[in-house]
Amino acid sequence: MRPKREPEQPQRELLQMDLEQLIDMSHPLARLGLSIDWQSFEEGALRLYSEAPQECARFVREALALLSEHQRRTIEMVHFEGLNLKDVAQRTEQTFSNARHHYYRGMAKLKDHLRSVRGDFETKDRQPAGGMEAGRVEA
């Protein structure tokens, strides 16, 4: 008895389709994706984020410290543990609406903090060199 020949292409599930069949490669976004040098992009992004991981961790700790205990714990459970708000409510023994309230109030505080920090950086970037105000010369 001879062994069966290996199929040239791997056998697929009955309803499984190739990704190329699902995406319209003539769509502008698909063409844009093909024109980007993804390896250079990833290397640049990795270099950007690997330069200051401690800075990012410090920023997250500071931002979370601004929240109430309920807000902080709810956001940690959603974003760090991957739970949804229904699961958070069950774990913390509170109503779904309370968990949702803590989540959205906490996220609003974090957004405000991020805006203020970003504003600080923009202000520092716009200051003239040497600490002099624009148009004034120190004697």
Question: What is the average per-residue pLDDT within 110-134?
Answer: 64
Q: Is the pLDDT of residue 133 over 90?
A: no
Backbone dihedral angles phi then psi of residue 14, each to the nearest 5 degrees: -60, -45
Q: Is residue 107's pLDDT more than 60?
A: yes
Backbone angles phi, psi at 134, to 5 degrees: -65, 130
d(C-alpha 131, C-alpha 103), whole Å = 41
pLDDT, tens digit (0-9, with 9 covering 90-100), for 4-59: 666 566 556 666 666 667 778 788 888 888 887 878 777 776 665 665 667 777 78
Distances (CA, A) of 27 to 1, 18, 19, 49, 68: 51, 17, 14, 31, 46
Lowest-confidence region among 71-75, 83-87, 89-93, 115-119: 115-119
**124 falls in which pLDDT band (50, 70, 90)?**
low
63: helix, strand or coil: helix
Domain 40-126 maps to which CATH number in 3.40.50.1110, 1.10.10.10, 3.30.70.1520, 1.10.1040.10? Answer: 1.10.10.10
Task: Give the pLDDT confidence of 88-106 residue by residue, as tens digits.
Answer: 999 999 999 999 999 999 9
